[in-house]
Each structure stands twice: as structure tokens, then as C-alpha cells.
């Protein structure tokens, strides 16, 4: 579908030259202003070029950045995730200490044998060995 707009052509001192429907251009003018003909568009940079441009070697070693993955512990509390499904778990079973997301998972948690419960807790590093 072709888009049209009403246009009026006027000379500098107010004389109307013509009026009528004008076809709108489908191209954006800003593209030509941003990239005039003959100039290349943005190019992809390799990792080495980005690292050289950012001067990561001049940053302090204890400050976290994109190259350094070591960072201080988070200030936010950890998410409570269901041990069975992986969804957000608003509940936990006081008998087994497993987290669960809904009643269906709760039924499964209560039916698990003790060694399976200990394995799930070991995955979360919350295992308590009972002797």
C-alpha cells in the first residue's frame, strides 16, 4: 500500500505554486545523513581491539570489570529455587528442609526416601549428614 500526504508548494513570498497529493518516500533521510555515500558503515570489532581501546590493564586488579570475573559477594539475598523443578520456591518443608514450588511438588518431596533427600540437599550445599 502506497502512503500519500497532501502537500502545498509555496514560493518564498507566499505565492502558491501548486497543491496535491505527494507520494511519501520509503527511505529514511537520517540514514543518508549518518552515512554519506562512500563512507563505510560501522564495522565489527574483535575482542583484542576492544580490550586495547578500553585499557583494561590499567584498571586496579581488585575492581570487577568485564575481563575480571572475580567480584565481591552480592548484596542481594540469594533466590530461593525449588530443589525439584527449578522454579521460584516460596515454601520449604521443615521435615526434609527441601524447598518446593507448589502442592504437587510437596507431595513428591514427602514421598522421597531419606537418601534422595540428602542428595538434593548436597546439590544445594545444605546437606546435613545424620548418623
Q: Which helix (H) or strand (E) holds 119?
A: helix 114-123
Q: How confident is the model at residue 35 (pLDDT cuts 50, 70, 90)?
A: low
pLDDT digits (tens, 9 = 90+) for 69-95: 666 788 899 899 999 999 999 999 999
In percent, how much of the chain has pLDDT > 70? 58
Q: Do the domain assignments include residue 18?
A: yes
Q: Do the domain assignments include residue 128?
A: no
> Of 26-35, 63-72, 106-115, which gets the smallest average pLDDT?
26-35
Q: Do the domain assignments include residue 24?
A: yes
CA distances from 95 to 55, 85, 98, 114 (A): 54, 19, 8, 11
Q: Are 109 and 116 in contact (CB under 8 A)?
A: no
pTM for the whole thing?
Answer: 0.45
Q: Do the domain assignments include residue 17?
A: yes
Q: Do the domain assignments include residue 9?
A: yes
Quick one: cell of 122?
548436597
CA distances from 70 to 47, 50, 65 (A): 19, 20, 9
Q: Do the domain assignments include residue 57?
A: no
Q: Do the domain assignments include residue 95?
A: no
Q: Do the domain assignments include residue 42?
A: no
Domain count within the chain: 1
What pLDDT, on a 0 to 100 scale, did the predictor assign at position 12? Answer: 56
Q: How confident is the model at residue 112 (pLDDT cuts 50, 70, 90)?
A: very high
Domain that holds residue 13: 4-33
pLDDT average, residue stretch 119-124: 91
Amino acid at each position: 500500500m502506497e502512503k500519500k500526504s497532501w502537500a502545498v508548494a509555496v514560493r518564498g513570498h507566499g505565492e502558491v505554486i501548486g497543491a496535491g497529493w505527494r507520494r511519501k518516500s520509503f527511505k529514511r533521510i537520517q540514514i543518508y545523513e549518518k552515512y554519506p555515500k562512500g563512507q563505510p558503515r560501522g564495522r565489527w570489532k574483535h575482542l583484542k581491539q576492544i580490550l586495547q581501546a578500553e585499557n583494561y590493564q590499567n584498571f586496579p586488579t581488585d575492581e570487577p570489570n568485564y575481563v575480571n570475573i572475580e567480584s565481591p559477594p552480592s548484596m542481594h539475598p540469594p533466590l530461593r529455587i525449588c530443589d525439584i523443578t527449578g522454579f521460584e520456591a516460596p515454601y520449604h518443608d521443615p521435615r526434609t528442609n527441601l524447598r518446593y514450588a507448589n502442592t504437587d511438588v510437596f507431595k513428591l518431596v514427602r514421598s522421597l526416601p531419606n537418601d534422595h533427600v540428602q542428595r538434593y540437599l548436597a546439590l544445594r550445599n545444605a546437606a546435613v549428614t545424620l548418623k
